[in-house]
Amino acid sequence: MATSPHNATATGEPQHDRLSAEYLDVLDRFHNELTVHKNASEHTVRNYIADATNLMQFLTHDGNGDPIPLADIEIGNLRQWLLHLSSQGASSGTLARRIAGIRSFFTFTTRAGITATNPASRLSTPKKATRLPTVLQQSHTEDVLTQPFEPPADDAKLTKAQRATRARDIALVELLYATGMRVSELVNLDTTDVDWTAGLITVLGKGNKQRRIPFGGPSQRALTEWLEVRNHLASDGQEALFVGVRGGRINQRQVRDVVHRATAKRANSPEISPHGLRHSAATHMVENGADIRQVQEFLGHATLSSTQIYTHVSLGKLKDSYTRAHPRA
């Protein structure tokens, strides 16, 4: 019969030092499964381990350190845990992600013979509210990509490093929009990943899946100009395509700062993130007639359902086309 221990903290954060030896052992094995056998991303590993740890802490009886054995965990225990998280303010999206992590955990324990069945298999996932991504209007794109980087009035006074930083910022914003790549993919690019002859860039996406993405004339020109002055920032032997002011590989926070500054300077246009440029690239492709499966490959989505949000973003275009073209509109 399900019990209702409540040892998770008020914030839902797990307390590793209060877990039993059995729990700690299976967490280590689950971590090994994710990293070695599943080749999961660092982000996925961190979240799934946190989800399993949080559940285990919840299932440890009221402060006496006597947890429910893994083999005795039932779906009722899991539902009580989710109810507890919900009472702490977890959104439907957070609960859905937590459930995904716990399903993965119990799939592992069942396959490993630690549990006889998977108690999470019958958990229903709460419907996640659909939030359409913020995108640039196509008419604003040119200004957002060029206007913030116009030479300042005192351009002649800029140092070589400052000129190089400006060229870098132009190139990375252009490339994010041109390729729709994730910011994590951009910061991991090396100079050798650019195939100038074919006009393609090789990126390493989620799950270490490699794909090649075309990039057009404006981004090629911006990248060429950046590479001509890259040596004014890059430290010796640095292979990263984009570097920070200290010469090392640029990080995601620095890229986000650049994109936020660029989009914030355009009047009547939303301030967006690097992911917003990815959304914009995909949305504009769909609006201009690209096949949804080609956009899926372009973005590196594992499933078509992830890409189909862009068909919803473009409903305005669809309605306009319907009004113009349908005889009974």
Query: Which are the catalytic amino acids?
Result: 182, 206, 275, 278, 301, 310
Within a 10 A sphere around the Cβ of 169, how many other Cβ atoms? 22
Residue 50 in tokens: 């946190």
Within a 10 A sphere around the Cβ of 289, how many other Cβ atoms? 6
**Residue 241, SS3 per DSSP:** coil
Q: Are 255 and 183 in contact (CB under 8 A)?
A: yes
* Helix ranges, the chain (H): 21-32, 42-58, 75-87, 92-111, 138-146, 160-179, 183-187, 217-229, 252-264, 274-287, 292-299, 304-307, 309-313, 315-325
Q: Are 267 and 197 in contact (CB under 8 A)?
A: no
Q: Are 176 and 136 in contact (CB under 8 A)?
A: no
Query: Can you say how many angstroms the Cα of residue 42 is from the centroid of all Cα atoms in its chain?
Result: 11
Q: Are 88 and 10 in contact (CB under 8 A)?
A: yes
**Residue 68, SS3 per DSSP:** coil
Q: How far is CA 292 from CA 179, 310, 314, 320, 321, in A?
A: 16, 9, 12, 19, 18
**Alpha carbons 103 and 95: distance in angstroms, whole number:** 12
